[in-house]
A and B are shown apart, each in its own frame.
Chain A
């Protein structure tokens, strides 16, 4: 339709018109009898509306026609795609910003009692660790064993998958220090790719990828905001890490297993992203 020639390329208003300032082209056909111009419009309309209508119908009804399982299965694959892509950008050197003690949220928000509804008997509590090479049975640790590991502490932003966040002071020992002290592995690369954690009653269980749990700010926590961890917050020992949402930061850890298969995860079973990495 550009055979109209250049005489129509300028818009009115000279430099008073942004179109002329920016040299916007105008594409007009030669003069046609009105009926011929309408014919062009009608044929273009028919094509455009049919194509557009068909695309809209296929889109809307196609989406509705697809069974829910197919959609959810597909969207779960997208979670995996996102995980593969974003975990490639994961660096243990990316550290969460630390806050000053004035920023600590008080009182600390309590959220989620899964797996810790019952009272905990601190006298009989033990941490059972499975999947360590060269061991026939679980490694069983007491709180004294864990307290003897190097202390670590940070004040960071805790993020809930619901969308809220609070600032918390976490004190404990690095998960990586537990690995260094009680396993033969010298490097995260040598380790199985997954770690499973569960409450003593098995009521709540989470799966972690090894790089995230070996992050220097992933702690096994026994003190929170300067005080001994309370039952609501996961006494005697919980996980805390800025690499994941709160759903992964298991309270009252009873078991840890190093695994080659991707562990089951309570909230992933409910349709949430298994990785949930931040």
Chain B
């Protein structure tokens, strides 16, 4: 049996991907410490409140109450690292050409639907893909845009007077806070789906995000 070693993820991508995990976690944690002081949002569908963010038990279980000052200290430190990592990641994607693996094309939207059918075992035919399939291309690109959105909405809340350009652009201070909050919820949702997908994709796939390489059977390498 012969095989090939495929270089899948380059070292800077791997580092920035893993560094982002604790940074995003710290941003969300410190954000919750801040949000607790004015917890006003809920998920509403057709005028009904489906879920209130957050039930009292959630805060007490995590030990969140009365830590606003600490939350702000952490948030306004880790924001620099989170933003720097994100900017470095995007810059690397552009200058290394790695964006070719990641961004969607016009055809991606149709194929992403076929990816969903395939993954739900409705269709047997696997749509052609590169390193990532078209659903991944769309979602990973959206996540980067969400990161940019978190920074812009964050600036709009952080300096609503001196950076009022952003605050007005986003519909004002109250809307900017709402948008910032929902981006956090979307990050949390992405994280959950991402973890499930990684588990389903299996160990070899997970390993490749740490080592950068994956061993592929020679006959499969022309997929």
Closest to B207 in A: A45
- Is B221 a contact partner of A8 (Cβ separation < 8 A)? yes
How long is the Cα–Cα vector from A22 to B98 in the complex, in angstroms? Answer: 10
Q: A163-B34, A277-B162 are in contact. Are A75 and B107 (CB under 8 A)?
A: no
- Is B164 a contact partner of A11 (Cβ separation < 8 A)? no
Question: Chain A nearest CB: distance from B13 CB in Å?
Answer: 13
Question: Chain A nearest CB: distance from B78 CB in Å?
Answer: 9
Interface size on A, residues (CB 8 A): 70
Interface string of B77-116 (1 = CB under 8 A from A): 1001000000000000000010111011101100100000
Closest to B215 in A: A37
- Is A18 a contact partner of B137 (Cβ separation < 8 A)? yes
Interface string of A16-46 (1 = CB under 8 A from B): 1111111111111111111001101100110
New A-B contacts (14) at CB < 8 Å, excluding given A24-B131, A38-B215, A161-B68: A4-B4, A18-B137, A31-B218, A37-B3, A37-B5, A41-B214, A45-B210, A47-B211, A55-B18, A75-B74, A79-B73, A91-B162, A163-B38, A243-B161
Query: Can you list 29 contacts pairing A with B, beta carbon distance less than 8 Å?
Result: A1-B5, A11-B129, A12-B222, A16-B107, A17-B129, A18-B107, A18-B130, A19-B130, A24-B131, A29-B6, A33-B1, A34-B3, A37-B3, A40-B215, A41-B207, A41-B211, A41-B213, A45-B210, A74-B77, A75-B77, A76-B73, A79-B73, A94-B162, A161-B72, A163-B34, A163-B37, A270-B69, A278-B160, A278-B161
Enumerate the 4 nearest inter-chain pairs by beta-carbon distance, A residue then B residue, closest first: A19-B130, A13-B128, A163-B38, A271-B69
Give the A-binding residues of B (Cβ under 8 A): 1-7, 14, 18, 22, 34-35, 37-38, 40, 68-70, 72-74, 76-77, 80, 97, 99-101, 103-105, 107-108, 111, 127-131, 134, 137, 159-164, 168, 172-174, 177, 207, 210-216, 218, 221-223
